[in-house]
Amino acid sequence: MSSSTEIEALAQDPKPLSFRIRHINKRHTKDDVRKCLENILKTEQKVVNDIYIEITSANDVGDTTRRVCVVTFHYDGSEPQPAPVHPSCFEQHLREANDELMLDIRDGRLWNKRRRRNENPDDESNYRITVDKGFRGLTPLYEPENPESVDANVIAVMGLTPNAYAVWQGEKSDKMWLRHFFEQSDNLKNCRSLIFGYNGDLWVEALYKKEDYTKGLMEDIVEFLRTHPHKPIIFVGHSYGGLLIADMLRTAYFWRQNPERYRIYELTKGIFFFATPHRGMFIDDLQKINSHKYRGEIIQGLQKRDLRFDGIFTEELKQFIQVIKEGAIKVYSFAETELTNQLEKSDDSIRPHQCVEQKHQVDRASAFLALSGHETEHHAEGKNHRNIIKFDNFDDRTYTAMLKGLKKCLEYIKQPTDDTVKAKPTRGESPQIAYSHVKLVSYALDETARLGAVRESLD
């Protein structure tokens, strides 16, 4: 959300809010973090016994001597729930997604209000922690106790939304599958999960372009790989997030003179696309209510293409398909099967809201790359564009289909063959020359599938 009312609006949601705490010295435990938060609640005269503080912890992406915690405040009392149960000071200081609050882990006091003259110079490094709610950048949510035992890093990239964490939460529960499901799954418990957040709020003007988000994603992963063992990567992209993944991998592939960036391509073994508009999407509702120039350019860039005149593959898409084929990357694509409520904006509302009108946001001709032998296509039963990546429990049919794909990806990772060796372009060639060596006809659909895709796009 975009205004100072964001956290208050989120607090009206029955789901508890989650916050990120960073820069935690590794010598401090989750109990130390809990005591710090309990001190804050006691100071605010909240009934601590009625609040369950859920904490998950992982190594910081750029500094393994530091920890990152995701904290959720759950109401556990018998009386009607007071609102909110999280610390009130979080509301006061974290009004915008990029706001941060610095605390002293020893007592929960605001760090910038400390006035101890006898403070040791090392105290800031040892005791200062930072709280935010925006989850900007790369955030680890779950990792095995032994980081060396990680089978793969699962990195999820959100679409154009204000909340990088809540977008992955279930609709009816507060479960966030990338945080809660991994530890309980025999297939995933040895994987690390991370999310990437950025300023995806379309209703606040900002100068970001698509390449800025792509660069941020790449730089964060490069920093992560500098401090963590190089393990295979599996990407998960929702809507616009899938486009960022595709652009980032395409850039990493052609930046072979930069070993750190090219390494991302080499490590990538699988991609899960959820309602990703490879060939555009329905954006009429977004265009009608958008009043910002630069955000409007991002929206316009998502305009649904006319396959009769533009063809099935743009030049960028052809290059990305080259990346997939030469890298032997497994692709799993999920298409929405339900219509999505459109957005409208009334004169007295700060933000748009859903209306009764429904549209097919991303059709199958756009959600599926149509790569014979390289892509597994799924129809997400009962899912629309927004909830296609929201899973309340292990029995969700889309989740079980994705889990099967993840299991196959992990089996693929553990059984290296000649087919999994990345094909590196000849050193010194330009991307255009390297690309010209590939017969584009091999990327196209056979005639029957091509006609079928075009017909679907015209329905």
* pLDDT of 395 higher than 70: yes
User: What pLDDT, on a 0 to 100 scale, did the predictor assign at position 112?
Assistant: 72
What residues have CB less than 8 Å from 127, skipping those under 6 apart? 25, 104, 105, 106
Cα–Cα distance for residue pair 317/335, rounded to 1 Å: 18
Least-confidence region, from 183-187, 234-238, 333-337, 432-436: 432-436
* pLDDT of 442 higher than 90: no
Least-confidence region, from 211-225, 286-300, 321-335: 286-300
User: What pLDDT, on a 0 to 100 scale, did the predictor assign at position 47?
Assistant: 87
User: What pLDDT, on a 0 to 100 scale, did the predictor assign at position 198?
Assistant: 94
User: What pLDDT, on a 0 to 100 scale, did the predictor assign at position 221?
Assistant: 98
CB contact at 8 A, 21 and 33: yes
* pLDDT of 455 higher than 90: no
- Tokens read off for 172: 């009816």
* pLDDT of 420 higher than 60: no
The mean pLDDT value for 133-156 works out to 93
User: What pLDDT, on a 0 to 100 scale, did the predictor assign at position 304?
Assistant: 81
pLDDT category of residue 128 using cuts at 50, 70 and 90: very high
Cα–Cα distance for residue pair 227/65, rounded to 1 Å: 10
* Segments of 266-374 assigned E as strands: 268-274, 330-336, 340-344, 353-359
Least-confidence region, from 184-198, 223-237, 311-325: 311-325
Instruction: Render pLDDT for 98-118 as a digit per residue (tens, 0 to 9).
Output: 789 999 999 999 987 554 555
pLDDT category of residue 180 using cuts at 50, 70 and 90: very high
Q: What is the side-by-side order of every strand in the sheet holding 330-336?
A: 137-142, 191-197, 152-157, 233-238, 268-274, 330-336, 375-380
The mean pLDDT value for 408-432 works out to 61
Cα–Cα distance for residue pair 43/233, rounded to 1 Å: 43
pTM for this predicted structure: 0.86
User: What pLDDT, on a 0 to 100 scale, did the predictor assign at position 409?
Assistant: 95
User: What pLDDT, on a 0 to 100 scale, did the predictor assign at position 123?
Assistant: 74
User: What pLDDT, on a 0 to 100 scale, did the predictor assign at position 15?
Assistant: 79
CB contact at 8 A, 129 and 105: yes
